């Protein structure tokens, strides 16, 4: 199995292109432009060069010894995406797609953002190349992540608040799609996760696989073998697919994606799309067929998570496929577990993780202790937690911090 | 095979008249009013009525229809309820063609095969799915065709000739030409993109062509009739619903607005 989608963008029954006709020509244009650079040595060299000199790759693979000892189980290694420029893995995809947009002659970039990390990464690369940048963000997320709003503005981006629905990531994507459909000629839509119509899930995954390629080489160098287990949080699914993909052929490597369990198991209380009892079911949203949180009539449900970046009703179609064939397991960590993991990692390793990442840590903590100390686990430390410090202070102290 | 849509367009051609296709969102503000509005629109000269299925995430819609869908979804409403409203207007003797205008997910969850069967029984004439392009429409098209239901396809000014051909091959009933790149909504400027698109479509189809998106005045309708078989008016009618305070007012305001639109 080569884990590549077919020409219509399907992995098994998941993926495809479900968009208004107006977007089909731009999407076809994007697809040909992307496939033209996908194996182009010059483009890939330019991409790698920026990852290295602008973003600071390769990111380290760090042995979290104190945490591993404390848990008394598997040796936990952290892939330090938090150390990349702008503080999360989102920069990898932003660099790749901005280079592509430049090739296509697009001068205006639009993006959606949940936690703000993709918005910041996009605004950063647009500033680097002098491109106009508009970022759509739900007003609830703007409240939760006000620091990132200001960062984007400092970088010259215009942040447009979206007041529809739950005022979070899904609503921001709707508004970005409306902008794109209105400004198709001038505008490049820089989607931030492995979601949306083909070719986005493939393209975003490709740009993020640098994480897994580096991690694979680093763990071989450090331990002489492959890891036993990979763990990463899954919102749309870009950091996790980026880590997992280069290991998919390694049959003995177990992989676990961690969704947001929120505050309860009922529809509306979580963002665990693979939780069938909690309302997760196959459907079509925002261009792709995948697992969705929806009611029995096909209306998309509200979701909840303490982390804005995981608070989304759908999941990337490649994840839906990997789940369906049993190659990747999906678990969830709830708000309280993520918050505890946020504090645990800060105290034991001196690393403050993003709240999104904390979900991955929480599950790693849960299962590492049941594994033998000879086992190796890699956790994707997808982003740093500076942006979340105010929110966490509010939750711990029970008082508003500002 | 000729369903109500084909018959209606044949009649319009015979009468040398342009078609008027109003759009409303089912359930805005409630299904009882929707029933009254369908009967009113049929009586005031609608050639085909487009009944929107409200969806939580209407990416192809501008603010007016987004707000309409939100109002509709404040009450529990689903595809079955909407089919029942159509059943009621058919029982009341209304023979105007009615098509549903939906996003894919509510129909997918209802069941494609079940939808085709029930829609035919009830007297729906066709369906348009905003986010279902020809490449993804194969199975649904087959199920609809078995039941003599039209699958109305959208064509856009951005569509290549290759795509227009693909769209026309899959389309039945009529082709819906999107007047400009963008979301639904009333705009004042009339667009020459629409006329160009209709001319391009004629190369690939003999089906009637309706033009929609951004049409809100009698003047614009007349312009569209110069080069296309019908004009779709959505947001401008929905705005009349939005500004009314109760169901009686809605029906009166829409009646008045449509009469003004169709004044010769």
Rounded to an integer, what distance in angstroms lies between the CA atom of residue B28 and that of residue B34?
7
What is the average pLDDT across B172-176?
97
Task: Tell which residue, A253, A308, A274, A250, has the closest CA to residue A117.
Answer: A308
Do A21 and B133 lie within an 8 Å CB cutoff?
yes
Q: What CA–CA distance (Å, rounded) separates A270 from A273?
A: 9
Check pLDDT > 90 for residue A166.
no
pTM over 0.90: yes
Residue A373 touches partner B, C-beta closer than 8 Å: no
Cβ-Cβ contacts under 8 Å for A14 (sequence gap 6 or more) = A282, A288, A289, A290, A317, A318, A320, A321, A324
Residues B147-156: pLDDT tens digits? 999 999 999 9
**Are A24 and B55 an interchain contact pair (Cβ–Cβ within 8 Å)?**
no
Mean pLDDT confidence for A148-159: 97
Residue A40 gets which letter from DSSP?
-
State yes or no: pLDDT of B1 exceeds 80: no
Q: What pLDDT band is residue A398 in, cutting at 50, 70 and 90?
A: confident
pLDDT at residue B186 tops 80 = no
For A49, the token pair is 């060069």
Does residue A144 sit in helix, strand or coil? helix
pLDDT bucket at B138, cuts 50 / 70 / 90:
very high
Do A55 and A91 touch, CB atoms closer than 8 A?
yes
> How far apart are the C-alpha atoms of A385 and A225, rounded to whole Å?
31
The predicted model gives A202-213 an average pLDDT of: 98
pLDDT of the residue at B192:
82
Condensed to tens digits (0 to 9), the pLDDT of residues A370-382 reads 999 999 999 999 9
C-alpha to C-alpha distance for A6 and A14, rounded to whole angstroms = 10
pLDDT tens readout for residues A250-266? 999 999 999 999 999 99
- pLDDT tens for A36-46 read 999 999 999 99
ipTM of model over 0.90: yes
When CB atoms are compared, the residue of B59, B78, B105 closest to A283 is: B105
Judge: A284–B79 Cβ closer than 8 Å, yes or no.
no
Would the pLDDT of A402 be above 70? no
pLDDT digits (tens, 9 = 90+) for A69-102: 999 999 999 999 999 999 999 999 999 999 999 9
pLDDT for A265-289, tens place per residue? 999 999 999 999 999 999 999 999 9
Name, in order, each residue with C-beta under 8 angstroms of B251's C-beta and a sequence gap of 6 or more: B33, B36, B37, B40
Structural tokens at position B231 = 């004009």
**pLDDT band, very low/low/confident/very high, at B188 (cuts 50, 70, 90):** low
In B, which residues are within 8 Å of A28 by CB distance? 160
Q: Residues of chain B with pLDDT > 90: what percent?
A: 93
Coil, helix or strand at residue B40: helix
Task: Answer yes or no: is pLDDT of A122 > 80.
Answer: yes
Of B131, B153, B157, the CB nearest to A18: B131
Rg from Cα positions in chain A: 19
Nearest CA in chain A to B161: A25
Q: What was the pLDDT predicted at A186?
A: 94
Q: In a 3-state reduction of DSSP, which class is residue A349?
A: helix
Delineate the domains of chain B, giving CATH numbers in brackets: 19-256 (3.20.20.70)
Q: Which residue of A has its CA nearest to B73?
A: A299
For residue A170, pLDDT over 50 is answered with yes
Give the mutation candidate from A8, A17, A21 for the B interface (greatest B CB count, under 10 A).
Answer: A21
CB atoms within 10 A of CB A380: 29
Overall average pLDDT of the B40-61 stretch: 97
Residue B33 half-sphere exposure, CB side, CA atoms within 13 Å?
24
Q: What is the mean pLDDT of chain A?
A: 96
Please state, in angstroms and rounded to a whole number, the distance separating the CA atoms of residues A175 and A142.
15
Q: Which tokens go with A70? A: 């404390």
**The predicted structure's pLDDT at residue B2:** 54
Catalytic positions of B: 50, 61
Cα separation, A190 vs B7, whole angstroms: 46
pLDDT tens, residue by residue, B80-107 = 999 999 999 999 999 999 999 999 999 9
Confidence of residue B189 (pLDDT cuts 50, 70, 90): low
Q: Is A332 within 8 Å of A251 (Cβ atoms)?
A: no
As a whole number of angstroms, the distance between CA B77 and CA B80 comes to: 8
Helix (H, G, I), strand (E, B) or coil at A290: strand
Cα distances (angstroms) measured from residue A164 to each of A170, A230, B55, B59, B62: 9, 36, 13, 11, 12
| CA-wise closest residue to A31 among A201, A231, A273, A244 | A201
């Amino acid at each position: 199995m080569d884990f590549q989608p077919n020409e219509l963008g399907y992995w098994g029954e998941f993926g495809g292109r479900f968009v208004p006709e107006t977007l089909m020509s731009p999407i076809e244009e994007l697809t040909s432009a992307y496939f033209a650079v996908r194996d182009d040595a010059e483009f890939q060299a330019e991409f790698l060069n920026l990852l290295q000199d602008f973003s600071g790759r390769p990111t380290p693979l760090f042995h979290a010894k104190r945490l591993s000892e404390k848990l008394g189980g598997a040796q936990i290694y952290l892939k330090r995406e938090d150390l990349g420029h702008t503080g999360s893995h989102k920069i990898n995809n932003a660099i790749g797609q901005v280079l592509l947009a430049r090739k296509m002659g697009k001068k205006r970039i639009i993006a959606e953002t949940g936690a703000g990390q993709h918005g910041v990464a996009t605004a950063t690369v647009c500033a680097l190349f002098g491109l106009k940048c508009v970022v759509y963000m739900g007003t609830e997320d703007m409240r939760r992540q006000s620091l990132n709003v200001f960062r984007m503005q400092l970088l010259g981006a215009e942040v447009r608040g979206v007041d529809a629905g739950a005022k979070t990531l899904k609503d921001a994507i709707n508004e970005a799609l409306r902008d794109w459909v209105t400004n198709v000629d001038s505008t490049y839509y820089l989607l931030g996760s492995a979601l949306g119509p083909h070719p986005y899930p493939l393209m975003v995954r490709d740009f993020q696989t640098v994480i897994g390629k580096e991690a694979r080489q680093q763990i071989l160098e450090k331990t002489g073998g492959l890891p036993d287990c990979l763990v990463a949080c899954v919102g749309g699914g870009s950091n996790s697919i980026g880590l997992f993909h280069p290991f998919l052929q390694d049959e003995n490597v177990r992989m676990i994606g961690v969704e947001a369990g929120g505050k309860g198991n009922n529809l509306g209380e979580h963002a665990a799309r693979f939780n069938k009892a909690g309302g997760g079911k196959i459907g079509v949203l925002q261009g792709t067929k995948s697992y969705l949180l929806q009611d029995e009539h096909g209306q998309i449900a509200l979701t909840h998570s303490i982390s804005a970046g995981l608070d989304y009703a759908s999941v990337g179609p490649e994840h839906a496929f990997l789940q369906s064939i049993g190659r990747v397991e999906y678990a969830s960590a709830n708000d309280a577990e993520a918050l505890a993991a946020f504090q645990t990692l800060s105290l034991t390793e001196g690393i403050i993780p993003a709240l999104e990442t904390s979900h991955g840590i929480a599950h790693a903590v849960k299962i590492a202790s049941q594994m033998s100390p000879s086992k190796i686990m890699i956790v994707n430390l997808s982003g740093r937690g500076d942006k979340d410090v105010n929110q966490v202070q509010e939750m711990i102290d029970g008082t508003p911090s500002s | 095979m000729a369903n109500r849509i084909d018959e209606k367009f044949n009649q319009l051609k015979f009468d040398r008249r342009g078609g008027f296709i109003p759009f409303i969102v089912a359930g805005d503000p409630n299904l009882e009013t929707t029933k009254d509005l369908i009967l009113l629109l049929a009586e005031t000269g609608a050639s085909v009525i487009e009944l929107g299925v409200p969806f939580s995430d209407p990416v192809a819609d501008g603010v007016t229809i987004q707000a309409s869908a939100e109002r509709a979804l404040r009450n529990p409403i689903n595809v079955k309820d909407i089919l029942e409203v159509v059943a009621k207007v058919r029982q009341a003797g209304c023979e105007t063609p009615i098509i549903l205008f939906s996003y894919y997910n509510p129909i997918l969850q209802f069941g494609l095969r079940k939808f085709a069967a029930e829609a035919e029984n009830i007297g729906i004439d066709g369906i348009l799915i905003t986010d279902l392009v020809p490449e993804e429409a194969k199975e649904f098209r087959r199920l609809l065709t078995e039941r003599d239901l039209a699958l109305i396809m959208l064509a856009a000014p951005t569509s290549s000739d290759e795509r227009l051909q693909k769209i026309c091959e899959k389309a039945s009933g009529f082709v819906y030409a999107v007047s400009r790149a963008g979301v639904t909504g009333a705009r004042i400027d009339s667009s020459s993109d629409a006329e160009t698109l209709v001319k391009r479509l004629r190369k690939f189809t003999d089906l009637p062509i309706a033009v929609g998106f951004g049409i809100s005045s009698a003047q614009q309708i007349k312009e569209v009739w110069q080069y296309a078989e019908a004009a779709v008016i959505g947001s401008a009618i929905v705005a009349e619903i939005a500004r009314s305070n109760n169901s009686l007012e809605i029906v009166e305001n829409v009646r008045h607005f449509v009469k003004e639109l169709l004044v010769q």
